[in-house]
Amino acid sequence: MNVEEALYFFRKNKNLKQKDVLTYTDTSVYSKIETGKKILRFSELTDILERFSIPLEEFSEYLEDSIEQKKFRKLFKQCGNNPTDESSKYELLSYYNQLSFSKEMHLREMANFIGIKTLFSNYWKEISPVSQEELNQIYDLLIKKEYFFQYDYAVLSNTIFLFNDKQIKSLAKKVLPVKDIEIRNVETTEFIKNMINNLITTLLRKKEYEESRYYLKLAITKEGSLTFDYKLVIQYLDNLTSYLITGDDRYKENIVDYIHLLTKLGEQHFAKSIEREVYSIISESKDIPIFIQADL
């Protein structure tokens, strides 16, 4: 739906007439908004949603871009869980082939494009890895930002491990501590968690343990407002860092407990990703698994 269609959808399902929505002004004002004949101001939208008793976040879920992105996330996850499925692969490749990388492309499309390249270049010959030119453009784009939004984090989480040491540290200083994490929505928090995971594990592979501890501390500066699953990821990374520094098996046992918890919660794919990640870091394997949570 576009905005006008979504307003009509909610109004009809609330059994409201047009004259009942913006009661402080002429009925024709709302009518023109719903039919697209008047530019909708944000103050008007908040008044309308207040009348509908619908949160802005829920309303946005019905908009066309959000619905299309949900379809993409579902398809991406299907392919991530089973990259040999030809039907899903063909559908995702069809979407990928419609995209053309540039710094000017919509950040949502850039996040999707880079996510596909980073993960599926390991499985499919049709997908090439992220090129150095693409990586340079992404760095130039991100390093100039003063505030990161959802798709900024999505792009960064899927590329942070590809940058050189100096670039990684420059970008890490940009994004940590996370600004306004207490008001971020669920999707954005997921990308933030993913970004922190990839940042810390990249540093651990380089044996930069003190850097890892430093950024972990920045990641929990507002502990009281962090979600439970966010805290779990940070605790897992802290245990992994402590184990690599001390060799104390108690930290390793905590990691195993975390993997078991994920499995019990039905997060088998996530648990397997963590398990492979931990093994590759501890064993110093050159075969580095790419960790991308399949929910772009």
SS3 assignment, position 155: helix
Q: What is the CATH number of domain 3-60?
A: 1.10.260.40
Give which of 277, 88, 253, 138 is closest to 197, Cα–Cα. 277
Work out the number of other CB atoms within 10 angstroms of the CB of residue 189: 18
In degrees, to the nearest 5, what angle opens at C-alpha 129 toward C-alphas 127 and 131? Answer: 125
CA distance 145 to 21: 39
> Would the pLDDT of 31 be above 70?
yes
CA distance 84 to 89: 7
Q: What ranges do the domains of the chain cover?
A: 3-60, 64-282
Radius of gyration of the chain (CA): 22
SS3 assignment, position 266: coil
CA distance 158 to 27: 48
Q: What is the pTM of this model?
A: 0.80
CA distance 182 to 25: 36
> Would the pLDDT of 166 be above 70?
yes
CA distance 181 to 196: 13
Q: What is the CATH number of domain 64-282?
A: 1.25.40.400
The pLDDT score that the predictor gives to residue 62 is 80
The pLDDT score that the predictor gives to residue 292 is 45
Length of the chain: 296
Question: Tens digits of per-residue pLDDT, 248-295?
Answer: 999 999 999 999 999 999 988 889 889 999 999 998 876 655 544 444
Work out the number of other CB atoms within 10 angstroms of the CB of residue 258: 19
> Would the pLDDT of 52 be above 50?
yes
- Residue 11 vs residues 5, 110, 190, 275: alpha-carbon distances, Å: 10, 34, 32, 48
Give which of 154, 195, 178 is closest to 295, Cα–Cα. 154
Which residue did the predictor score with more confidence, 81 or 167? Answer: 167
CA distance 125 to 22: 55
Least confident of 10-14, 120-124, 242-246: 10-14
Tokens of 70: 């949900």
Give which of 85, 73, 77, 3 is closest to 40, Cα–Cα. 3
Question: Tens digits of per-residue pLDDT, 115-150?
Answer: 999 999 999 999 999 999 999 999 999 999 999 988
The pLDDT score that the predictor gives to residue 268 is 87
Place of tokens 């499919």: 124
The pLDDT score that the predictor gives to residue 185 is 78
Mean pLDDT of the chain: 90
Q: How many alpha carbons fall within 13 Å on the CB side of residue 5?
A: 6
Give the helix/strand (H/E) hosting 117: helix 107-120
pLDDT band at residue 90 under the 50/70/90 scheme: very high
DSSP 97: T
CA distance 283 to 288: 11
